Chains A and B, each alone.
Chain A
Amino acid sequence: MSNPWIAIGALALVGLAIPVVMMATSALLRPSVPEQGKRATYESGEIPTGSTRIRFNIQYYMVALLFVVFDIETVLIFPWTVIYSDAVAEVGLARALVPMLVFLTTLVVGLGWAWRNGAVRWVRSPRAERQKVEQ
């Protein structure tokens, strides 16, 4: 049995080579016709205004924070699921399941707290609220 990671590395090489070859082929085929205004940022035909580096809805940030918590949780759940069946046979149902239930309950309490605090509720800005036409 050879090392599987060598084969995965080989697929990574192939996976990189295919897009790079496509880019090279396209570079050989495609024309280049520089024109005034062609490279302007697309804003539906209007003249672009302002920068893109703007403030955005804080909601995206809240959701990302919540994700970190639950992602680490899934990392801890992975090994538990692998050994679960063996663990039940070895030490019985209670000792295999209950500690994980306690852990999950803690997280669900956390989710409930975030839920009540509105971290997963989409907040409209006051301006969007004013401009709302129908509900």
Chain B
Amino acid sequence: MLPLQSATPLPDRISGLLGLGQFGVPGELLAGLLASALVATFVLLNTAVAGPWAKRKITASFTDRISVNRIGPFGLGTIVVDSVRLLSKELIIPERVDRPAFDLAPLVLASSALLGFAVIPMGNGIQVADPEIGLAYVFAIASIASLGLVMAGYASSNKYSFLGGLRAVAQNLAYEIPLVLTGVSVVIFAGSLQMSEIVAAQEATLFEVAGVAIPQWFAIVNPFAFGLFLVANLAEVGRNPFDIPEAPTEIVAGYQTEYSSVYFVLFYLGEFIHIFLGGAIIATLFLGGPAGPVLPGIVWFTIKIWLVFLLTQWCRSAVPRVRIDQLITIGWKGMLVLSLANLVLTAAIVGVIA
């Protein structure tokens, strides 16, 4: 069986296999590019299945409908057909848009979401890089997306987009701090920001039930933090009940109202990559990363991020949207206080036990 967490990141293994080590920095860059291409392909493959197909199928089962089923087995051919259809739409640039920002916004959103996957350990040694400040890095990169949203909202020169952009900022500001504070309460246990260390800290056995060893996953050690993080993550990726930046029944489509053709595809793609990035952070911090019995790590990792995706779609079908004033109240008066309490309590309990 392959080791769950190999000591060498993927680029080093590739450069070892191809003998790129002798070329110095260009060799490292080439190995890094190959590893990145592999990880990006994995992420985009998940997104391609999730966006045009799984999302519709899940919503359809919740609302007792059939959904896409015409092309290919289970309608899976829809993925190809839809991507070709969307890419070949006419690109309409509205009047009075702020041109460079309008074009850059979809790029910022899609690229930043993909960049966050650099430090995520996906099992079987698939990890592009493992810097010491991995967790700080992933939080920093994940919040670049709000910059893309506000660029889109402001540059569109549309009142709906503008409101959507403002709402996106207010929401991300309100939920960023609970997210990070809950995230660092895990660091108190792990004692490191390095992603591989955080995963390794969860491998120890917490207790045994009928001969089955329950691992020390932080979701089991601190379920309160896990719940807080799940909610804050829903708000961070802008899904129900916190999808007020898009709010189709209130402000058309929010910040993406004026986007068509490939720009719309990039927004859609960026959002789904962001959901999976959120799932990957949850899996790494709270669900033992790629750990799991029998199956290889990458399969467990995929299962975990899809579980988080399923949760977002479940909420989409089942939970009503909150209003902007309720959102601010929940964020600043509820989540922030709870996450501070969680941090202090975790620190106190760890301090007393240690």
Contact = CB atoms under 8 A, between A and B. Distances in A.
Interface in A46-103: 52, 54, 56-57, 59-60, 63-64, 66-67, 70-71, 73-74, 77-78, 81-86, 88-89, 93, 96-97, 100-101
A120 B329 contact: yes
Interface stretch (B105-113, B222-230, B306-314): B105-113
A8 B131 contact: yes
12 contacts: A6-B28, A6-B32, A7-B129, A8-B128, A15-B114, A19-B266, A33-B90, A39-B95, A42-B158, A42-B258, A52-B161, A63-B173
A81 B197 CA distance: 14
Contacts of A39: 92-95
A19 B87 contact: no
A43 interface: yes
Interface string A105-124: 00110010001000011100
A4 B131 contact: yes
A23 B343 CA distance: 44
B29 A10 contact: yes
Interface of A: 1-16, 18-20, 22-23, 25-27, 29-33, 38-44, 52, 54, 56-57, 59-60, 63-64, 66-67, 70-71, 73-74, 77-78, 81-86, 88-89, 93, 96-97, 100-101, 104, 107-108, 111, 115, 120-122
A52 B157 contact: yes
Given A2-B15, A97-B347, A100-B347, A12 B115 contact: yes
Interface string B126-156: 0011110000110000000000000000001
A95 to B, nearest CB: 11
Given A6-B32, A13-B33, A42-B252, A56 B129 contact: no
Mostly, the A contact residues are helix
A25 B90 contact: no
Mostly, the B contact residues are helix
Interface in B332-354: 332-333, 336-337, 340, 343-344, 347-348, 350-352, 354
Contact of A6 (B29, B84, B107, B173): B29
A25 B87 contact: yes
Contact of A26 (B87, B176, B328): B87
B328 A88 contact: no
